[in-house]
Amino acid sequence: MMSLFEKPILDNPLITAFAFVGAVIWISNQLAHHLTRGRVAGSAIAVLAGLALAYWGGAITGKSKGLGDIAQFGGLALMGGAMMRDFTIVATASEVHVDEAKKAGWLGFLALVLGTVLPFIVGVGVAYAYGHRDPVTLTTIGAGAITYIVGPITGAAIGASSDVIALSIATGVVKSIMVMVFTPVLARFMRLNNPQAAMVFGGLAGTVSGVSAGLAATDRRLVPYGALVATFHTGFGCLLGPSILFLAVKALFS
Amino acid sequence: MVIFGTALLAACYLVGVAVGEGIAALIGVKANVGGVGIAMLLLIAAQHYLQKRGLFPVDTAKGVTFWAMMYIPVVVAMAATQNVIVAAKSGPIALLSAAGAFAICVLFISAINRVIERAHIASAALEPVSDDHDPASDLSVAPDHR
């Protein structure tokens, strides 16, 4: 019986991914409804379940794409890859109320600047506390605390070694997963309940994957506002990282 | 027709990403600068323009909204393909800088959002909704899912 399904599943990875994700979300909604009486959003449980499955997949295969590295679930890598993520984020713009977004454009920019500089300072500070003194290493780890794309791009631009770049990627990945997991938990504390607040959040929390998953698990209607700002985060970080921020670190520590 | 909506979405996406690449090349950055954000602005503008001229019938809109609804499933798939192992096994530097960066950002978000709430820059909090795509935002209110 199972072998009958083996071939269709392996031959149709994307379709399998649709069915699988649907099942995960259905189970998550049931859990949210019956176990937590709707106090925890079904999508928050689904994102957590996804991360848990990713851990399991990574533990089995020893590769980097979580469950996507298991042949039967290969379609998840396509469905959850950058192409589909960005395409569906753009689609959510159809639900944006222009007046709401206009009200907070300048706030979004302020948040973007803070969301780049603050994590960078923390990253540099932690690396310094652990005994690193080389400006290139400090900058690369600091840039990793902005996003896991800014880290390696900055590191490559200023000539960091590959183990430092790997460390900066790990920093970014940890941050992104923290944003995914803790945003719904901290949503009330952050007053994350209106479009302008979502734009501030998108700029400060950075990392598109973290922001998009965190907001999705909090309130779907806030997603486009947060994403609108967050999508500028990586580009902005890559602009500042190897230039102003590196020069500042160099001036301070050498 | 539904495909017109999806095609419009795809066109906005491609143009936005291309503009993002252009900006990146112009300022000498090795990453796309805001391409997705620009695509979002293009889609908002295009939709507004077409709607005003009555060229955006319900069927066409469906070609966009379907993909907007697919957003959460895509995010779940994305979560399932994250490198969680690296995150879990990373050393103290990665863990502490990530946690510290996130904590500071949370404090700033909280402070800024309280200020804009009081200054009435922020809109009123969204009402909790109860359709089955959107679990309610307010965690203290038990939402009725169906």
Per-residue pLDDT, A97? 78
CA distance B69 to B14: 20
Per-residue pLDDT, B72? 83
Q: Assess whether pLDDT exceeds 70 at residue B143.
A: no
Contact at CB, A18 and B41, closer than 8 angstroms: no
CA distance A230 to A22: 27
Between these two residues, B15 and B78, which has the higher pLDDT value?
B15
Per-residue pLDDT, A21? 96
Q: pLDDT-based confidence at B139, cuts 50/70/90?
A: very low
Q: Assess whether pLDDT exceeds 80 at residue B131.
A: no
Residue A65: HSE in the Cβ half-sphere, 13 Å Cα cutoff:
16
Contact at CB, A173 and B86, closer than 8 angstroms: yes
Tokens representing residue A85 in the block: 């993520």
CA of B1, closest CA in chain A: separation in Å? 17
**pLDDT tens, position by position, B98-128:** 999 999 999 999 999 999 888 877 777 777 6
Contact at CB, A173 and B37, closer than 8 angstroms: no
Looking at chain A, which residue has its C-alpha nearest residue B32? A235
Chain B residues 57-86 with CB within 8 Å of chain A: 61, 64-68, 70-86
Q: Assess whether pLDDT exceeds 90 at residue A64.
A: no
Residue A3, C-beta contacts closer than 8 angstroms, at least 6 positions apart:
none
Q: Assess whether pLDDT exceeds 70 at residue A57.
A: yes
Comparing A32-41, A211-220, A224-233, which segment has the lowest mean pLDDT?
A: A32-41
Between these two residues, A27 and A89, which has the higher pLDDT value?
A27
Query: Which residues on B lie below 8 Å from A41 (Cβ)?
Result: 135-136, 139
A-B CB pairs within 8 A amount to 391
Three-state secondary structure along A169-231?
A: HHHHHHHHHHHHHHHHHHCCCCCCCCHHHHHHHHHHHCCHHHHHHHHHHHCHHHHHHHHHHHC
Per-residue pLDDT, B145? 42
> What value does the mean pLDDT take over residues A2-18?
89
**pLDDT tens, position by position, A145-164:** 998 888 888 888 888 888 88
Tokens representing residue B105 in the block: 């950002």
Whether the CB-CB separation of A165 and A155 falls below 8 Å is answered with yes
Q: pLDDT-based confidence at B59, cuts 50/70/90?
A: very high
Contact at CB, B75 and A231, closer than 8 angstroms: no
CA of A94, closest CA in chain B: separation in Å? 6
How far is CA B19 from each of CA A87, B29, B134, rounded to the nearest angstrom?
15, 13, 32
Comparing A55-69, A89-103, A173-187, B67-81, which segment has the lowest mean pLDDT?
A: A89-103
Mean pLDDT of chain A: 88
Contact at CB, B82 and A66, closer than 8 angstroms: yes
Q: pLDDT-based confidence at A1, cuts 50/70/90?
A: low
Whether the CB-CB separation of A205 and A175 falls below 8 Å is answered with no
Tokens representing residue B3 in the block: 């495909």
Query: Which residues on A lie below 8 Å from B134 (Cβ)?
Result: 219-221
* DSSP secondary structure string for all residues of chain A: -HHHHHHHHHH-HHHHHHHHHHHHHHHHHHHHHHTSTTSS-HHHHHHHHHHHHHHHHHHHH-SSSGGGGSGGGTHHHHHTSHHHHHHHHHHHGGG--HHHHHHTHHHHHHHHHHHHHHHHHHHHHHHHHTT---HHHHHHHHHHTT-TTHHHHHHHHHT--HHHHHHHHHHHHHHHHHHHHHHHHHTTTTT--SHHHHHHHHHHH-THHHHHHHHHHH-GGGHHHHHHHHTTHHHHHHHHIIIIIHHHHHHHH-
**pLDDT tens, position by position, B9-44:** 999 999 999 998 898 888 777 777 778 888 988 999
Looking at chain B, which residue has its C-alpha nearest residue A94? B44
Per-residue pLDDT, B135? 40
Q: Assess whether pLDDT exceeds 60 at residue B137.
A: no
CA of B76, closest CA in chain A: separation in Å? 5
Per-residue pLDDT, A16? 95
**To the nearest whole percent, how much of chain A has pLDDT over 90?**
37
Which DSSP letter does residue B31 get?
S
Whether the CB-CB separation of A245 and A145 falls below 8 Å is answered with no
**To the nearest whole percent, how much of chain B has pLDDT over 90?**
45
Using a CB–CB cutoff of 8 Å, tell me whether B13 touches chain A.
yes
Per-residue pLDDT, B100? 93
Prediction pTM value:
0.80
CB atoms within 10 A of CB A172: 32
